[in-house]
Chains A and B, each alone.
Chain A
Amino acid sequence: MVSQVKFINTFAPFKRSFITLPLINFLLVFLLIPAFIQSVYFYGFYSLRVICSSVVAAVFWDYFFKRVFNRKIDVYNGDSVVIGLILGMLFPPTVPFWIILWALFTAIFLGRALFGGTGCGPFNPVCIGWAFVMISWKDYVDPAWGSVAFNLPFNVKFPLAEWKMKGIEAISQFSIKELFLGKQAGCCGATSQLLILMGGIGGVLLKITPVEIPISFLGGIIITSLSLVISGSLPSHGIFFHLFSGFSFIGAFFIATEWSRPVSRWVRIYYGLFCGILTVLLRMWSNFSEALPFAILIVNITISFLDRGRAVKHKTVEVVEL
């Protein structure tokens, strides 16, 4: 009996998981919205302008480079929206528009388009865009001076800049509770630590961000600030000062976990640790008041040599008997 019907034959598996790249990017944007709302609450139209223009510029440059390089146009994945949102949060609210264009140009060119797309390049696009603009036009982008002119109910100063210029005594004017709630000047939303922590924990629970990177990042910060406290260059509450000021939480949860992160577990722990260690060291001994993106860039370069294999050697595997 020969059946004349033709069937489709495919390999297993016959079902795919529902997690796709557009869903992940949508969830990341969703988790960052509370911080965005707090920045609009503080700075009003200025922060709204910055973030919206950065998102629009990101999508524009993404489309532009994909047309120029003749690649498949999948702007609907949402990759560029996430880059625009995070990078817009790192700028102060008085940044001019042409700097945003320049920053996103380098971010998408050197981070994505030149090397082939998402996840293909060694550089973190947010970090390299910010680094380019910070080095070239420091006065416009420095979080220390961006929001000094605003009239707000809290102490409108960037704590890391105060520490760098005026010494240890300037730390006492900040209360740690206010720092944690995001009442520090500098940027549109990257410093609202509590809301970003909530978003980051939500990402970990939804299994979007791998657990090892934020934990080791914050652990690295804690270790180096502890050693600085012991050696005397920081007061006793210096650990919390470094944890809650600047871009620490957004760096741990959202910037370091971009697609240029490593794959295997021990390399991820190394990545987070050294990024955390380098941020505190660069904050202490460099010209810049906040140097977290530089630290991530330095460690990113060393990863491609390490991310080769797993810790367990392969053995010849026989068929599993149940």
Chain B
Amino acid sequence: MKLTLPTKMPFVKYPLSSIPTEIKSITDIDCVKILIRDSNNVIVNEGDIVKIGQPLTSKPYFGSFASVSGVVDKIVPFYGEIGHRFREVIIRKTREGDFFNIFPPSDEPLSVDKEELVKRISLCGIENIKEDTAFLIVGADDDIGKVSNRYIMKNYSKKILEGIGVINKIFSKNKIFLAVTNDIKDAFVNNVENEKLQHIEIINIKPYYPYTFLPFIISLLKRDNITVVTCKKLFDIVNTLKNGYVLPAQFVSVQIGQKKETLLFDTPPGITVGQLLKAGGVKIDNNMEIIVGGEMRGKTIWSLDDPLEYMDESILIRFPKEVSLSQNEHCVNCGRCSDVCPVRLRVDIIGKAVEYSIKDEVVKGGVANCIKCGLCDSVCIVNRPLMHLIASGVRRYIEEKEQEKWFHR
């Protein structure tokens, strides 16, 4: 996968070595707190091993991802200023769960001595490989769909088999998992039977987008200590092998105000928003609005200590002039809000009923089904505060138990 960076916009690149002075290396971060809004669907328990990019809730789009890999210390309730109830997942960063790229990309055949292999593994920080540790070999590549030529498949599978053979000789007592896609699986099955590699267990995987690739595999093998060995490079973003380990970096664009110029940062996840903005030279004052995630479904932050999560790709900063607070206008009956609602509610009726305090219309109109997308508010011709009206309708006329479901969506 190749990332095509926009060439017209000015971008600033911060490689791993020149992170702001408060953090010298990623190992200086001990704990990371992740704020989860969907407190009912947390998958992870205390004591679990968590890898980078792993979803922590069952609905990953609205929930959170783990921004570092380590061990889950605590899951703590968090009370915000407005009174909503959230949860914080505190992850203590450890080397368990990292992944290492031991064999750098090259076209040469894999012939590695035991000493050199042990050296490369020790660079990653693992000194003793116990009998309990298992190896996961990922036999897939960026060009997953293109492996259809038989010649390419043969060569590809040969390389992986050589790597497996080396590891099998050295670590003969450890278990080896092999994760392959359907195209390559047949070639391996035949070869495995012939060469009698009994320690290998083959896992069939689907060609996912690379960011979701690893968490899918790792979630299957959550209970073992795993060191992931890749025979070919997985990510194009991974540029350096400094300190023997590599983290997937992400590109975050910061847009300030209404300008079209944005700044692009090349950061590893785990950095807090405050550190990122400081490194970019953005002055932070009172009465700014910092939105992480985008214009329609982003979330505003309450403090600068919120970490950047895995899927956060943009930060938007707005000033009080641009925060267009809506006015108390009356409805014009144009019908655009109802046309646009994805749940097909009659938003104009609900808004008027809340203004005039009519309970029946609000509840029958289906306020509890609203998904808070905000399309009605953005489309209104007269700038009515529809989201606030819906929220006050939910608070007033719906029971407390069901209120939580709406507020935590």
Q: Does B263 contact A (CB under 8 A)?
A: no
Q: Does B303 contact A (CB under 8 A)?
A: yes
Contact of A14 with B284 in the complex, beta carbons under 8 Å: no
Within 8 A of B (CB), among A218-272: 259-264
Of A17-25, A55-63, A155-163, A293-301, the one contacting chain B is: A17-25
Chain B residue nearest to A23 in the complex (CB):
B381
Give the residue of A6, A14, A116, A260 whose beta carbon is less than 8 angstroms from that of B287: A6
Of B164-172, B186-194, B245-253, B333-341, the one contacting chain A is: B333-341
Contact of B59 with A14 in the complex, beta carbons under 8 Å: no
What is the CA–CA distance of A317 and B405 in the complex, to the nearest angstrom? 12
Within 8 A of A (CB), among B302-354: 302-305, 316, 318, 320, 323-325, 330-335, 338, 343-346, 348-349
Of B96-104, B213-221, B290-298, the one contacting chain A is: B290-298
What is the CA–CA distance of A6 and B320 in the complex, to the nearest angstrom? 12
The residue in A20, A120, A263, A308 that gathers the most chain B C-beta atoms within 10 A of its C-beta is A263
Question: What residues of B have a CB within 8 angstroms of the CB of A13 in the complex?
Answer: 295-296, 373-375, 377-378, 387
Which size bracket describes the interface of B in this complex?
A: 35 or more
Chain A residue nearest to B318 in the complex (CB):
A14
Q: Does B379 contact A (CB under 8 A)?
A: yes
Contact A319 to B343, CB < 8 A, known contacts A1-B305, A12-B298, A13-B374? no
Contact of B378 with A17 in the complex, beta carbons under 8 Å: yes
Question: What residues of B have a CB within 8 angstroms of the CB of A153 in the complex?
Answer: none
Contact of B289 with A8 in the complex, beta carbons under 8 Å: yes
What is the CA–CA distance of A10 and B291 in the complex, to the nearest angstrom? 10
Within 8 A of B (CB), among A59-95: none
Chain A residue nearest to B304 in the complex (CB):
A3
Question: What residues of B have a CB within 8 angstroms of the CB of A11 in the complex?
Answer: 372, 374, 377, 387-388, 391
Q: Does B382 contact A (CB under 8 A)?
A: yes
16 A-B pairs (CB sep. < 8 Å): A3-B274, A3-B305, A5-B288, A6-B287, A7-B300, A13-B296, A13-B374, A14-B296, A14-B318, A16-B324, A19-B381, A117-B330, A119-B333, A120-B331, A317-B343, A319-B62
Contact A10 to B332, CB < 8 A, known contacts A1-B305, A312-B344? no
Q: Which 6 A-B pairs have the closest CB atoms?
A: A13-B374, A263-B335, A119-B333, A119-B332, A8-B289, A12-B374
Contact of B344 with A310 in the complex, beta carbons under 8 Å: yes
Within 8 A of B (CB), among A150-179: none
Question: What residues of B have a CB within 8 angstroms of the CB of A287 in the complex?
Answer: none
What is the CA–CA distance of A6 and B286 in the complex, to the nearest angstrom? 5
Q: Does A286 contact B (CB under 8 A)?
A: no
Contact of B302 with A9 in the complex, beta carbons under 8 Å: yes
Q: How far is the CB of B295 from chain A (nearest CB, A)?
A: 4
Contact of A20 with B382 in the complex, beta carbons under 8 Å: yes
Contact of A119 with B59 in the complex, beta carbons under 8 Å: no
Q: Does B371 contact A (CB under 8 A)?
A: yes
Chain B residue nearest to A309 in the complex (CB):
B346
Q: How far is the CB of B4 from chain A (nearest CB, A)?
A: 24
What is the CA–CA distance of A322 and B61 in the complex, to the nearest angstrom? 7
Contact of A8 with B323 in the complex, beta carbons under 8 Å: yes
Q: How far is the CB of A232 from chain B (nearest CB, A)?
A: 42
Give the residue of A8, A15, A21, A322 whose beta carbon is less than 8 angstroms from that of B332: A21
Give the residue of A24, A260, A310, A320 whose beta carbon is less than 8 angstroms from that of B346: A310
Q: Does B369 contact A (CB under 8 A)?
A: yes
Question: What residues of B have a CB within 8 angstroms of the CB of A20 in the complex?
Answer: 381-383
Q: How far is the CB of B180 from chain A (nearest CB, A)?
A: 27
What is the CA–CA distance of A119 and B382 in the complex, to the nearest angstrom? 12
Contact of B300 with A10 in the complex, beta carbons under 8 Å: yes
What is the CA–CA distance of A263 and B352 in the complex, to the nearest angstrom? 15
What is the CA–CA distance of A260 and B323 in the complex, to the nearest angstrom? 32
What is the CA–CA distance of A15 and B334 in the complex, to the nearest angstrom? 20
Q: Does B301 contact A (CB under 8 A)?
A: yes
The majority secondary structure among interface residues of chain A is: loop
Question: What residues of A have a CB within 8 angstroms of the CB of B323 in the complex?
Answer: 8, 10
Within 8 A of A (CB), among B362-406: 366, 369, 371-375, 377-383, 387-388, 391
What's the tally of chain A residues with a CB closer than 8 Å to chain B?
43
What is the CA–CA distance of A19 and B336 in the complex, to the nearest angstrom? 11
Q: Does A53 contact B (CB under 8 A)?
A: no
Q: Does B285 contact A (CB under 8 A)?
A: yes
Chain A residue nearest to B289 in the complex (CB):
A8
What is the CA–CA distance of A17 and B383 in the complex, to the nearest angstrom? 10
What is the CA–CA distance of A318 and B162 in the complex, to the nearest angstrom? 49
Give the residue of A7, A15, A116, A314 whose beta carbon is less than 8 angstroms from that of B302: A7
Q: How far is the CB of B409 from chain A (nearest CB, A)?
A: 6
Chain A residue nearest to B291 in the complex (CB):
A14
What is the CA–CA distance of A308 and B377 in the complex, to the nearest angstrom? 21
Q: Does A136 contact B (CB under 8 A)?
A: no
Question: What residues of A have a CB within 8 angstroms of the CB of B286 in the complex?
Answer: 5-7
What is the CA–CA distance of A118 and B338 in the complex, to the nearest angstrom? 18
Q: How far is the CB of B51 from chain A (nearest CB, A)?
A: 21
Give the residue of B291, B304, B324, B409 whose beta carbon is less than 8 angstroms from that of A5: B304
Given contacts A8-B287, A13-B373, A19-B379, 6 further A-B contacts (CB under 8 A): A9-B300, A15-B295, A20-B382, A259-B333, A310-B338, A314-B344
Q: How far is the CB of B401 from chain A (nearest CB, A)?
A: 14
Contact A319 to B334, CB < 8 A, known contacts A1-B305, A7-B288? no
Question: What residues of B have a CB within 8 angstroms of the CB of A19 in the complex?
Answer: 379, 381
Chain B residue nearest to A11 in the complex (CB):
B387
What is the CA–CA distance of A119 and B374 in the complex, to the nearest angstrom? 23
What is the CA–CA distance of A277 and B345 in the complex, to the nearest angstrom? 31
What is the CA–CA distance of A263 and B347 in the complex, to the nearest angstrom? 11
Contact of B298 with A119 in the complex, beta carbons under 8 Å: no
Contact of A7 with B379 in the complex, beta carbons under 8 Å: no
What is the CA–CA distance of A2 and B295 in the complex, to the nearest angstrom? 27
Chain B residue nearest to A4 in the complex (CB):
B286
Chain B residue nearest to A118 in the complex (CB):
B332
Chain A residue nearest to B337 in the complex (CB):
A263
Chain A residue nearest to B41 in the complex (CB):
A319
Give the residue of B305, B331, B391 whose beta carbon is less than 8 angstroms from that of A119: B331
Q: How far is the CB of A161 from chain B (nearest CB, A)?
A: 36
Question: What residues of B have a CB within 8 angstroms of the CB of A317 in the complex?
Answer: 343, 369, 371
Contact of A15 with B378 in the complex, beta carbons under 8 Å: yes
Contact A7 to B332, CB < 8 A, known contacts A12-B373, A13-B378, A317-B343? no
Contact of B378 with A259 in the complex, beta carbons under 8 Å: no
Q: How far is the CB of B31 from chain A (nearest CB, A)?
A: 12
What is the CA–CA distance of A309 and B361 in the complex, to the nearest angstrom? 11
Q: How far is the CB of A9 from chain B (nearest CB, A)?
A: 4
Contact of B379 with A17 in the complex, beta carbons under 8 Å: yes
What is the CA–CA distance of A187 and B10 in the complex, to the nearest angstrom? 60
